[in-house]
Amino acid sequence: GDSVTQMEGPVTLSEEAFLTINCTYTATGYPSLFWYVQYPGEGLQLLLKATKADDKGSNKGFEATYRKETTSFHLEKGSVQVSDSAVYFCALREFSGGGADGLTFGKGTHLIIQP
């Protein structure tokens, strides 16, 4: 079945550091890929998405590129801020045509940014 693997946390960085959170996936078809973020005390929010190979999703300074050849969707940001501290989830959704529409999530990466 489908699966998503992302780097274990917590990841602790200093403010203005470069961020990479790795995400790889296993799917039988052509999934759409997502990054969700959960800020402290808040619900999950969609951060960015990509629906086909080589697409780049971007939002709030974060970027991720759908790499079919490496089955990856790594999240990057050039200069992190304390306000980026949150838990980040990589997810996929595969269109099987049978109607199943649930997202498959990774376990989440807790990011801590220190001033």
Partner 1 sequence: GAGVSQSPSNKVTEKGKDVELRCDPISGHTALYWYRQRLGQGLEFLIYFQGNSAPDKSGLPSDRFSAERTGESVSTLTIQRTQQEDSAVYLCASSPRVRETQYFGPGTRLLVL
Q: Which residues bind partner 1 (CB under 8 A)?
A: 4, 36, 42-46, 49, 89, 91, 93, 95, 99-108
CB of 73 to partner 1, least distance (A): 15
How far, in Å, are 10, 63, 75, 83 from residue 112 at the CA level?
7, 18, 15, 9
Residue (18 or 39) nearer to partner 1, CB? 39
Residue (69 or 101) nearer to partner 1, CB? 101
Residue (1 or 115) nearer to partner 1, CB? 1
- Residue 108 Rama label (left phi>0; alpha psi -120 to 50; beta): left
CA distance 94 to 78: 30
CB of 49 to partner 1, least distance (A): 7
Residue (10 or 78) nearer to partner 1, CB? 10
Burial of 114 (0-12, 13-18, 19+ CB in 10 A): exposed
CB of 55 to partner 1, least distance (A): 15
